[in-house]
A = this chain, B = another copy of it.
Amino acid sequence: MLRMLALFPFIAAISACSASLLSSSQQSTALTRTVVVDNLRSPWGIAFIDANTALITEKEGGLVIADLGSGETRSISGLPADLIDDIRSEVRFDNGGLFDIALDPNFAAEPFVYLSYAAKSDQGRTTKIIRARLEETSLEEAQTLLVADPFTEGEFFHYGGGLAFGDDGKLYVTIGERIYNERDNPALPIAQDPKDKRGKIYRLNKDGSAPEDNPDFGPNAAPGLFAMGIRAAQGIAVQPETGDIWFSEHGSRQGDEINRLAAGANYGWPIVTTGGYRNDDYTPPTLEGRDFTAPVWFWRQTVAPTGLAFYTGDAFPQWRNDLFVSGLSRGSFWRFNFENGVIVSVEELFVDDRIRSRDVAVAPDGALYMLTDTLLAPSPEGGLDYTGEAGGQLLRISPRKR
C-alpha cells in the first residue's frame, strides 16, 4: 500500500492551501459516525453473532469478540501457529496477517468460524483458509480448508482472503496472485493457470471439499476453483435481493474494479485490465480461446477497494439495496445505486477525511458499520502516508439528527 499511495505525488504540486483542501469533514457531514469499538489493530473483517456482538479480525494477528454496546473486546485464543503477524514480520512489504472472517450460516447450531490468513512455512508464505469451532473465547478443532499453493518467498502482496457464504450454503474465497509486478509472471501467468491456486476465486463446501456442481476447469485444475483471472481481489459479498455474489479487486495502476461473480468466468488478469500495468512496456502473452468477463464498474482513479456490502437496513431507506464499498486509498467510502441491476449513480461519501476504510458491514439489526484501518496524513514526499498514531475503529454510520 505504501507504493500505491505514492501514486498521488501531484498533491505536492498544490501550494500550502492544500491543508484546508484535505481538512476533515467528519464533523460537518450529514452522516454521523459513532465510534463503537476503538483501538483495534488494523481491523480487517467483521462478522456479527447478533446485533450486539461481533467478531473482528485484526490484520496484526488478533481475533477479538466485541460488545457493541459497551465497546469492550476480549481476545480469542487458538489462532493458528503459522499465522504471520504483519507488524512483526521481517519480510519487506509483507501484507500478511489475519484477514477475513465468516460465520457458519447455521452458526447457532454449528458455531464454526471461517478465517483467512497469511501462513508461513519453511518454503515461504501463502494464503490459508481454516475453520474452527468457537467456544466462548477460544477456537477449537481448527481444520485447514484451503492452502493457496505454492508457498513462495520474496515480497508479499495480494494474499486476497475475502470470505462469504452464498445463499447456496457454499463458502466463496478470493485468493490474490501474490506478486507485485505483472512482469514477474511465468509464461502462463499465474492467474490464467488453473493449476496454480493463486489469482482465483473458490467455491467450497464447509469442510473445504469441492462441490460437485463447480465449473470444470480441466483435469488438473485446483480443487474448488470457481473463477480465474484475478489479480488482487479482497472483499466479497452476497447481494440479498438476487443472491448474486460481488467482489472488489485492486488494479495495478488504476483499474480498481467491482465485479459480479459468475461460475467459470475468467476476469482477464493480466491479459486484459481496465487500468494500466505497472510497467508501460509490459506486453501480456496472447492466450487463445479464452473469453474474459469485464467488470461491472471500474474507477478511473486509484481507490483500493476492499470490503463491500449491500445495505439492507432501515436507517437509510433511500439507500436500501445500494452497494457500499470501502476504499483504502486516501480513505474513501463509496455508494453504488443500482436500479434493475444496473449502476446508475456512484457517490463518494466522507471525501478527503483521510480515514482508511477497510470494511463495511450491515448488522442483523440493519445498522451500517465501517471498519477503519489507520489515519492518513500528508507525507514529506507530498502524498499521503500512514500516521501509525491512531488505532482502527468500528464506526456505526447513522443519519445525522437535524
Contacts and interface: CB of A to CB of B under 8 A. Distances in A.
Contact of A13 (B274, B342, B345): B274
Given A10-B276, A13-B273, A273-B10, A347 B347 contact: yes
Interface in A337-371: 337, 339-340, 342-352
Contacts of A25: 339, 342-344
B340 A351 contact: no
Chain A interface secondary structure, helix, strand, loop or mixed?
loop
A15 B349 contact: no
Of the four ranges (under 10, 10 to 19, 20 to 34, 35 or more), the interface on chain A belongs to 35 or more
Copies of this protein chain in the complex: 2
Contact of A17 (B293, B337, B339): B293
Interface string A324-342: 0000000000010101101
Contacts of A344: 25, 28-30, 349-351
A255 interface: yes
B343 A15 contact: no
A81 interface: no
A296 B339 CA distance: 31
Interface in A4-18: 8, 10-11, 13-15, 17-18
A282 to B, nearest CB: 12
Given A10-B254, A20-B294, A30-B339, 6 more contacts: A11-B274, A14-B294, A15-B293, A15-B294, A28-B342, A30-B344
